[in-house]
């Protein structure tokens, strides 16, 4: 531990002199050529500035449980998306005429599977409410893990809650219940419980996965070929996060099975299959328990965070809020030079590194504010893409089948990026940092909505009902335009996620202190809830003949905001990706306050 010195000085509140303890040095990256350690294990020498600019960067080791935890996320997402993929049809359309009474369509029918018959607006409202809750509750889940229970225990609680939801959902889809018109109540109950369980689980799994990368600083390694390379934590976390996200979408691809199960057999099977996959999770969690690196709850440091922000505003106003110089004025070392050692009569309990963490976290949260518009582009508002597919020719395929090209594209493209494009860019020393990747993702999502607008226009032009195509009963009731024409839209959405969402996960981890990672991930996920709230507000407008404009209304601001975003944050790609945690020193200071 770094040596400490005591400084006597006056406080903000005018109280008597207080003793403030400050370390002589922060935990910083090792200087060039100094040894780099992971705990007590020697890894190699730190690279020089020249080596950082000339040597190739490669991924480093990951704890053995890291990839196993990715399979936990696969099982959870397979169950989650396997169910949610068929929610819209289940709510929107009635039991198909000539079907088997379980929600399946009659053989050869163009009619989609359905059960509750509540229409497009109710379908959009319920699915958006579910999405809003599933991405709003993570704030509670993140706080609970960081301050009270720890992430691993919180994950297990979420698993139990979601398990109860799956059981209720299957029971509510039994044919006799649907035919009696009693399917709505158990479905809504299971929907709310699933949102609660997913909200508790979701913010904790990704930081737990990324914490299996235990080294924090780049170091030199000589390969068997004789090539000297830099093993870099950013490259390692990027590869692990892409793998994590690819397995999310392997799980999401399970929607293909549930779509066909609903169309051919009924919703009881469509909800049962995800439940079977789901109950693999407790087994995997038990197997990797001892090998998993777990972060214990750190106590509530949100108070210190708010005090740092408040003090910075008092010192500087709001001009240049969030800049490095803005927060330098509230670092304890700077306050000590001004003769300040306490705040409101109490010794200052944070250190310089903690102030840096607050600044970096605030910048990440500012970046997250751009994501609601991105999410509106990435999937459209409400159920309009699914409803659009229901107005197109399917040749007997489920109308929600084509949406599976989103996870399929991610599954195919992830290894191409991980082992092809990104290594190629690094080999040629082309920097493609998270800000550039997010910007590209924003543009691709906007382009997907351009494709959606063009398709909706063609549906209107070719439907037997013209610009009232959604619930058309003339002829076969659909446009001759094939549902497979939606594939480019879903491919663009998928590629956008690999750049924008994956990089968002990386920033939420790398720019937050260890004691707040779940909460910061939750704030990132909360942008989905904001997007859903916006969508919910415009649900009444989702009606013929105006379904072209929801696509156009998000695509245009999406492109404009991508340009603004890159201009504002382009310099962040040059910042240190992962700071050494200040939490250990923070704990020392907090313990000193108690004595």
Let me know: does 49 contact 227? Beta carbons within 8 Å.
no
Residue 31 has a pLDDT of 65
Would you write out the chain's pLDDT as a tens digit for each of its 595 residues?
333 333 334 444 444 443 333 333 333 456 666 888 777 788 889 899 888 888 999 998 887 788 899 999 999 889 888 888 899 899 999 999 888 999 998 887 778 899 999 988 888 789 888 988 898 999 999 999 988 899 999 999 999 999 999 999 999 999 999 999 999 999 999 999 999 999 999 999 999 999 998 888 899 999 999 999 999 998 999 999 999 999 998 988 887 889 889 989 999 999 999 999 998 899 999 999 988 988 888 766 777 788 888 888 888 877 777 677 788 888 888 888 877 777 777 788 788 888 888 888 888 899 999 999 999 999 777 668 877 887 888 877 766 678 878 888 999 999 999 999 999 998 888 889 999 999 999 999 999 999 999 999 998 888 888 888 888 888 777 888 888 899 999 999 999 999 999 999 999 998 888 888 898 999 999 998 888 788 878 877 788 888 888 899 999 999 999 999 999 999 888 877 766 655 444 443 433 344 4
Let me know: does 47 contact 30? Beta carbons within 8 Å.
no
Residue 584 has a pLDDT of 43
Same fold: 65-215+242-294 with 359-577: yes
pTM, entire model:
0.82
Strands (E), 334-378: 342-343, 346-347
Q: Which CATH superfamily groups domain 65-215+242-294?
A: MFS general substrate transporter like domains (1.20.1250.20)
10: Cβ contacts below 8 Å, ≥ 6 apart: 17, 339, 340, 341
Residue 373 has a pLDDT of 94
How many angstroms separate the CA atoms of 486 and 403, rounded? 8
Domain boundaries, the chain: 65-215+242-294, 304-347, 359-577
How many angstroms separate the CA atoms of 74 and 465, rounded? 42
Compute and round to an integer the Cα radius of gyration of the chain.
Answer: 26
Residue 6 has a pLDDT of 36
What is the token pair recorded at 327?
Answer: 């927060």
564: Cβ contacts below 8 Å, ≥ 6 apart: none
How many angstroms separate the CA atoms of 582 and 512, rounded? 10
Residues in the chain: 595
CA nearest neighbour of 275 among 169, 398, 401: 169
The CATH number of the structural domain formed by 359-577 is 1.20.1250.20
**First CA to last CA distance, the chain:** 18
* ω into 316 cis (within 30 of 0): no
Let me know: does 360 contact 512? Beta carbons within 8 Å.
yes
How many angstroms separate the CA atoms of 462 and 553, rounded? 23
CB atoms within 10 A of CB 479: 23
CA angle 282, 283, 284 (to 5 degrees): 95
Residue 587 has a pLDDT of 43
Start-end of H helices in 215-297? 233-252, 255-264, 267-278, 281-287
């Amino acid at each position: 531990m770094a040596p400490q010195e005591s400084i006597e000085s006056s406080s903000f509140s005018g109280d008597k002199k207080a003793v403030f303890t400050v370390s002589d040095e922060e935990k910083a990256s090792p200087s060039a050529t100094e040894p780099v350690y992971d705990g007590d294990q020697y890894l190699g020498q730190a690279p020089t500035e020249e080596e950082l600019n000339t040597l190739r960067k490669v991924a480093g080791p990951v704890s053995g449980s890291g990839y196993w935890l990715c399979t936990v996320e696969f099982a959870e997402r397979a169950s989650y998306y396997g169910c949610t993929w068929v929610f819209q049809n289940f709510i929107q359309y009635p039991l198909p005429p000539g079907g088997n009474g379980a929600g399946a369509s009659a053989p050869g029918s163009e009619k989609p599977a359905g059960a509750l018959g509540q229409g497009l607006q109710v379908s959009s409202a319920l699915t958006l409410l579910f999405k809003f809750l599933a991405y709003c509750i993570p704030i509670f889940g993140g706080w609970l893990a960081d301050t009270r229970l720890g992430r691993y225990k919180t994950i297990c609680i979420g698993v139990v809650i979601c398990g109860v939801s799956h059981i209720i959902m299957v029971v509510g889809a039994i044919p006799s219940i649907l035919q009696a018109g009693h399917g709505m109540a158990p479905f809504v109950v299971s929907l709310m419980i699933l949102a609660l369980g997913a909200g508790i689980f979701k913010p904790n799994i990704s930081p737990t996965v990324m914490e299996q990368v235990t080294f924090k600083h780049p170091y030199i390694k000589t390969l068997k070929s004789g090539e000297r390379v830099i093993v870099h934590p950013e490259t390692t976390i990027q590869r692990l996060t892409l793998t994590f996200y690819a397995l999310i979408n392997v799980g999401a691809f399970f929607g293909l099975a549930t779509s066909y199960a609903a169309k051919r057999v009924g919703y009881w099977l469509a909800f049962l299959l995800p439940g079977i996959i789901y109950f693999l999770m407790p087994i995997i969690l038990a197997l990797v328990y001892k090998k998993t690196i777990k972060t214990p709850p750190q106590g509530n440091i949100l108070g210190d965070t708010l005090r740092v922000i408040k003090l910075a505003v008092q010192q500087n106003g709001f001009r240049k809020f969030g800049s490095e110089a803005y927060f330098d004025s509230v670092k304890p070392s700077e306050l000590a030079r001004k003769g300040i050692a306490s705040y409101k009569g109490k010794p200052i309990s944070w250190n310089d590194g903690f102030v840096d963490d607050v600044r970096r976290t605030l910048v990440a949260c500012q970046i997250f504010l751009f994501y609601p518009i991105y999410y509106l582009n990435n999937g459209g508002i409400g159920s309009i893409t699914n409803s659009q597919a229901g107005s197109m020719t399917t040749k007997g395929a489920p109308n929600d089948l084509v949406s599976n090209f989103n996870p399929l594209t991610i599954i195919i493209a992830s290894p191409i990026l991980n082992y092809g494009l990104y290594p190629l860019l690094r080999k040629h020393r082309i920097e493609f940092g998270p800000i550039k990747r997010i910007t590209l993702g924003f543009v691709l999502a906007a382009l997907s909505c351009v494709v959606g607008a063009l398709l909706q226009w063609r549906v209107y032009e070719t439907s037997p009902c013209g610009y009232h195509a959604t619930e058309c009963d003339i002829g076969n009731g659909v446009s001759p335009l094939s549902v497979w024409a939606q594939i480019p839209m879903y491919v663009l959405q998928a590629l956008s996620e690999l750049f924008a969402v994956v990089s968002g996960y990386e920033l939420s981890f790398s720019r937050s202190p260890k004691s707040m990672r779940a909460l910061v991930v939750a704030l990132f996920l909360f942008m989905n809830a904001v997007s859903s709230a916006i969508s919910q507000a415009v649900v009444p407008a989702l009606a013929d003949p105006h379904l072209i404009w929801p696509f156009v209304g998000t695509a245009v601001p999406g492109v404009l905001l991508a340009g603004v975003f890159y201009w504002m944050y382009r310099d962040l790609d040059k910042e240190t990706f992962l700071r050494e945690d200040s939490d250990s020193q923070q704990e020392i200071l907090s313990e000193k306050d108690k004595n």
